[in-house]
């Protein structure tokens, strides 16, 4: 199985940004965790991060007929982006939404998720492990 992991704006600042919310581990640590888990589970994984909405859309479009699953943390674009929602709907690839923090317990503006309606599951508040659980969901879904 080939899985594309997409991370939106400011996730490259993990370890530096708001460590009380997102933890002290870095983006490099997150990538290593995902790569290691993918290896152990026989999954081919590509990890992509961008601060730019259109670049995220381009990456999702490029996954068409190339990837079997998408794990996406659109970060702030979760709460604003119809373009990312439409991109996921366009490619028709099973997608899991992940958030490191428990967005449901945070500010009102974080209660809206445009992407959610296109996703087979949403995982929040599990820290970095949420990405691993998302891979589990895609593996289970692909059986």
119 touching ligand DQA, by CB under 6 A: no
Stretch that binds ligand DQA, among 32-40, 96-104, 114-122, 131-139 (CB under 6 A): 96-104
Alpha carbon distance 131, 5 (integer Å): 8
75 touching ligand DQA, by CB under 6 A: yes
96 touching ligand DQA, by CB under 6 A: no
Alpha carbon distance 91, 79 (integer Å): 21
99 touching ligand DQA, by CB under 6 A: yes
Question: How do the residues of the chain divide into helix, strand and coil, expressed in percent and rounded to 5?
Answer: 50, 20, 35
Alpha carbon distance 92, 119 (integer Å): 10
The beta strand positions in the chain, using DSSP E, are: 2-7, 44-49, 69-73, 95-99, 121-124
Catalytic (active site) residue 52: no
Looking at beta carbons only, is 32 or 102 nearer to ligand DQA?
Answer: 102
Looking at beta carbons only, is 78 or 81 nearer to ligand DQA?
Answer: 78
Active-site residue identified among 27, 77, 99, 114: 99
Alpha carbon distance 113, 81 (integer Å): 9
Looking at beta carbons only, is 68 or 115 nearer to ligand DQA?
Answer: 115
Binding site for ligand DQA (CB under 6 A): 10, 73, 75-76, 78, 99-101, 103, 110
């Amino acid at each position: 199985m080939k899985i594309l992991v997409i991370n939106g704006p400011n996730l490259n600042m993990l370890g530096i940004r708001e460590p009380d919310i997102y933890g002290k581990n870095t983006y490099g640590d997150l990538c290593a965790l995902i790569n290691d888990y993918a290896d152990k589970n026989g999954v081919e994984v590509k990890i992509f991060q961008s601060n730019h909405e259109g670049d995220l859309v381009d990456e999702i479009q490029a996954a068409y007929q190339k990837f079997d699953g998408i794990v996406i943390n659109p970060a702030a674009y979760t709460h604003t982006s119809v373009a990312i929602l439409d991109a996921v709907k366009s490619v028709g690839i099973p997608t899991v939404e992940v958030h490191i923090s428990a967005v449901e317990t945070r500010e009102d503006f974080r209660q809206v998720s445009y992407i959610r309606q296109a996703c087979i599951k949403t995982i929040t508040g599990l820290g970095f492990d949420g990405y691993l659980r998302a891979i589990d969901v895609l593996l289970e879904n692909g059986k």
